[in-house]
């Protein structure tokens, strides 16, 4: 039997084939249930009726009750006219104004009839008016049942077809009459609903669309948000529990001579307490008998690569091979140089495999890999090609993992008899609520302190009319032996944009600094050209590197002490933080200069102020999440994670995310195999949800 809510939207009275097509295409509403889950984005209190003498131009939407006294018309050109109705409640007069639709106005609104008028009052030539107000006959309304009026988002196409918020509201009202009381099934255990003081599912659906009070709205939202987030978390934890049972990990039981020698003789500096803690966490995973799946978070320069290397040495001491996969050739080569410098003369063979390694050299690397002669393979996505086979891969490190898709990461599993231990690294701090949702099946480690001796980067905001002082500051730093990054947002000028362009900017900077040597790097250069220019800067041959955001990841020049970001208002917070992380890698005081136009919007000012106030990547990531939402954050889209949550907001509902996580964890702890009859309501609901709007496969 077809579930009532699974019925085709076309068969809801008032829809039909034409409206069905619009609802399908514009809002992806195909069933009655889809309409029920198309929630209002705001509400307006319709319980209070104002007198006209109480109106002011600063008021939000209000309603007044009265009668139309007369109509008047004013020409607005050859073919259009403005219609004005003079409306009175007996205490004052207000004008109702229409700039189009005169025929509709005269056909529907009559002099002497009593109406409720709803709109935003404004002042024009000393008189109050409502432009294109909503009007209802008093005879048609039950004033004691008006409550809070819901407002629904509609598209431009819908508006052109006459389908406004009010049209959607009428459809949801019709839908409510077609759903008998008691026909919406509960999806949570009664004990949970009671213990958490949640509204029932049916009440929540009715109140979210037809609330009488603000309290109704808030309680309905909490219930529906909790349910949505609970099932996201339950699915993640169920998957993680199943994964741990199903996949046994290689047991690395010993700490051997290579690790001990490295730790005793080769460490260039003492580990921070955070690094020591993370290494212990990884060590515990590797000897547990379960496959490690761990996310390592840490700001740029916090020492993640060293932690990854020491973890790989544990695998090597136990007779296994390892690999580290980076998103770009530049970053892969940097890892190769860093690892070789750390290891010095230890008996560990490290090789590089990227797209530019070809011919005999590539063939030899692949042969040595199969024979077990290579201990650490550093590379790009070339590592996951089918032709690349290991003798015994025991551990894989994925750096800047948000640059890789889920399917790409999964290919690493096929490189060994058992899935290798996986360490996922990111220098993009991920807010806790987002991490537990996107990477909910990964154990999380955080390096939350920088190595000793590092000075925080000083961030300064400058306007683009302060170039003289900016250039003087750059000149002073270079004369003191430092190097400078100057970042442009675009490569070449766009007709629709006022952004500075890199090509013209480079020429101008060459004129401004004739005494210095400059390099230029952007994404459209050939890899060899880019590498040659980068190497000039790394070696100190050039003092200023003019670039686009290609230097966001993968450049380590301790001597660079100044990062200048032009048109900084065009960058997101996380991107600004990543760029700033390119400096401050040496012992000298470093600076990040954010250059913007003078005219800035409120949100942009917030971003710039946050950058100037803190170097804490997690604070910045939390702020970024609140300003932009999870769908816009770098890392979520590239990973294939498309959160199309209907009502919950991971940024603003962090407490509900945590509550949902805790409740889901209790269920998994009590029923790790998902087979107890008392929880069948949850497991059945999860099966239903697999065919819905949440991209379950992308999560984690």
Phi first, then psi, for residue 36 (nearest 5°) are: -60, -30
458-463 and 591-596: which strand pairing?
Answer: parallel
Note the pTM of the prediction, 2 decimals.
Answer: 0.69
Half-sphere exposure of residue 624, counting CA atoms within 13 Å on the CB side? 27
With a cut of 50, say whether residue 634 has pLDDT above it.
Answer: no
Per-residue pLDDT band for 85 (boundaries 50, 70, 90) equals very high
Q: Classify residue 184 by its DSSP letter.
A: S
Reduce the DSSP state of residue 607 to 3 states and report it.
helix
Q: Over 60: is that where the pLDDT of 668 sits?
A: yes
How far, rounded to the nearest angstrom, does the alpha carbon of residue 323 sit from its chain's CA centroid?
A: 29
**Strand order across the 421-426 sheet:** 350-353, 376-379, 321-325, 393-399, 421-426, 293-298, 443-447
**Does pLDDT of 336 surpass 50?**
yes
With a CB cutoff of 8 Å and minimum separation 6, the contacts of 360 are none
Could you tell me which of 621, 331, 267, 272 has the C-alpha nearest to residue 454?
272
Q: Name the least confident of 9-13, 593-597, 623-627.
A: 623-627
H/E element holding 283?
Answer: helix 273-286
DSSP strand pairing (421-426 vs 393-399): parallel
pLDDT range class, residue 493, cuts 50, 70, 90: low
Three-state DSSP class for residue 37: coil
DSSP reduced 3-state for 684: helix
Q: For residue 589, with 0-12 CB atoms within 10 Å meaning exposed, 13-18 middle and 19 or more buried, which class applies?
A: middle
Q: pLDDT tens-digit profile of 238-275?
A: 988 887 788 888 999 999 999 999 999 988 888 999 99
| Mean pLDDT calculated for residue range 556-574 | 88
Q: Is the pLDDT of residue 1 over 70?
A: no
Tokens found for residue 94:
């207000």
Going by C-beta distance under 8 Å and a sequence separation of 6 or more, which residues neighbour residue 420? 250, 291, 393, 394, 395, 396, 412, 413
Residues whose CB is less than 8 angstroms from the CB of residue 436 and which lie 6 or more positions away in sequence, other chains included: 233, 657, 658, 661
Of the listed ranges 106-120, 319-333, 390-404, 595-609, the one predicted with least confidence: 390-404
CA–CA separation, 422 and 427 (whole Å): 17
Least confident of 99-108, 207-216, 255-264, 440-449: 440-449
pLDDT in tens, 457-487: 999 999 988 989 999 999 999 999 999 999 9
Residue 492 has pLDDT above 90, yes or no: no
Element (H, E) at 7: none
Is residue 430's pLDDT more than 80? no
Tell me the C-alpha to C-alpha distance, in Å, between residue 393 and each of 314, 316, 386, 524, 694. Answer: 13, 10, 14, 35, 34
- pLDDT value at residue 500: 57
Q: Are 620 and 610 in contact (CB under 8 A)?
A: yes
In sequence order, the 6+-apart residues with CB closer than 8 A to the CB of 234 are: 664, 667, 668, 682, 686
């Amino acid at each position: 039997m077809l579930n009532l809510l699974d019925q085709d939207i076309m068969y809801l009275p008032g829809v039909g084939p034409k409206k069905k097509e619009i609802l399908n295409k514009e809002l992806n509403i195909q069933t009655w249930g889809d309409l029920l889950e198309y929630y209002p984005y705001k509400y307006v209190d319709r319980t209070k009726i104002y007198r006209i003498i109480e109106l002011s131009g600063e008021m939000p939407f209000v309603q007044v009750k009265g009668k139309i006294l007369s109509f008047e018309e004013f020409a607005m050109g050859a073919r259009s006219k403005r219609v004005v109705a003079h409306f009175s409640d007996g205490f004052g007069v207000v004008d109702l104004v229409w700039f189009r639709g005169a025929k509709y106005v005269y056909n529907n609104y009559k002099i002497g009839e009593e109406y409720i008028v709803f709109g935003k009052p404004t002042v024009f030539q000393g008189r109050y008016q409502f432009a294109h107000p909503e009007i209802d006959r008093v005879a048609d309304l039950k004033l004691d049942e008006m409550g809070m009026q819901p407002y629904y988002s509609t598209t431009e196409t819908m508006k052109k077809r006459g389908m406004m918020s009010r049209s959607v509201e009428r459809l949801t009202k019709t839908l409510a009459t077609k759903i008998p009381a008691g026909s919406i099934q509960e999806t949570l255990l009664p004990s949970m609903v009671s213990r958490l003081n949640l509204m029932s599912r049916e009440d929540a659906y009715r109140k979210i669309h037809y609330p009488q009070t603000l309290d109704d709205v808030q309680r309905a939202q909490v219930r529906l948000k909790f349910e949505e987030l609970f099932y996201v978390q339950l699915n993640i934890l169920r998957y993680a529990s199943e994964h741990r049972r199903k996949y046994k990990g290689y047991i690395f039981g010993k700490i051997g001579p290579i690790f001990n020698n490295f730790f005793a003789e080769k460490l260039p500096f003492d580990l921070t307490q955070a690094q020591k803690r993370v290494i212990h966490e990884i060590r515990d995973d590797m000897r547990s008998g379960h496959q490690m799946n761990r996310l390592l978070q840490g700001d740029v320069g916090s020492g993640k690569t060293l932690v990854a290397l020491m973890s790989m040495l544990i695998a090597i001491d136990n007779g296994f091979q390892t690999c580290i996969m980076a998103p770009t050739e530049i970053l892969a080569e940097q890892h190769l140089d860093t690892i070789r410098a750390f290891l010095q003369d230890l008996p560990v063979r490290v090789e590089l495999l990227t797209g530019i390694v070809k011919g005999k050299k590539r063939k030899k690397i692949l042969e040595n890999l199969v024979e077990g002669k290579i201990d650490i393979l550093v590379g790009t996505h070339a590592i996951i090609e089918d032709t690349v086979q290991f003798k015994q891969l025991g551990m894989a490190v994925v750096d800047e993992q948000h640059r890789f898709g889920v399917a790409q990461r999964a290919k690493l599993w096929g490189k060994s008899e058992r899935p290798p231990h996986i360490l996922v690294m990111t220098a993009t701090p991920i807010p806790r609520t987002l991490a537990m949702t996107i990477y909910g099946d990964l154990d999380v480690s955080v390096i939350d302190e920088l190595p000793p001796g590092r000075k925080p980067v000083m961030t300064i905001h400058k306007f683009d009319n302060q170039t003289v002082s900016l250039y003087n500051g750059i000149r002073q730093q270079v004369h003191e032996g430092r190097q400078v990054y100057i970042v442009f947002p675009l490569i070449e000028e766009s007709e629709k944009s006022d952004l500075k362009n890199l090509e013209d900017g480079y020429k101008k900077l060459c004129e401004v600094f004739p005494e210095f040597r400059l390099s230029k790097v952007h994404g459209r250069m050939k890899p060899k050209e880019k590498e040659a220019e980068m190497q000039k800067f790394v070696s100190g041959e050039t003092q200023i590197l003019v670039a686009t955001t290609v230097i966001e990841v993968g450049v380590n020049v301790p001597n660079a002490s100044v990062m200048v970001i032009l048109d900084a208002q065009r960058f997101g917070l996380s991107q600004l933080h990543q760029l700033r992380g390119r400096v401050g890698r040496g012992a000298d005081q470093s600076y990040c200069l954010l250059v913007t136009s003078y005219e800035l919007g409120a949100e942009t000012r917030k971003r710039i102020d946050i950058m100037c106030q803190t170097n804490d990547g997690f604070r910045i990531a939390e702020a970024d999440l609140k300003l932009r939402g999870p769908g816009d954050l770098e890392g979520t889209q590239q990973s294939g994670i498309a959160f199309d949550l209907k009502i919950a907001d991971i940024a603003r509902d962090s407490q509900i995310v945590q509550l949902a996580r805790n409740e889901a964890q209790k269920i998994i702890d009590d029923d790790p195999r998902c087979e107890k009859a008392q929880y069948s309501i949850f497991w059945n609901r999860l099966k239903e949800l697999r065919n819905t709007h949440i991209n379950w496969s992308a999560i984690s």
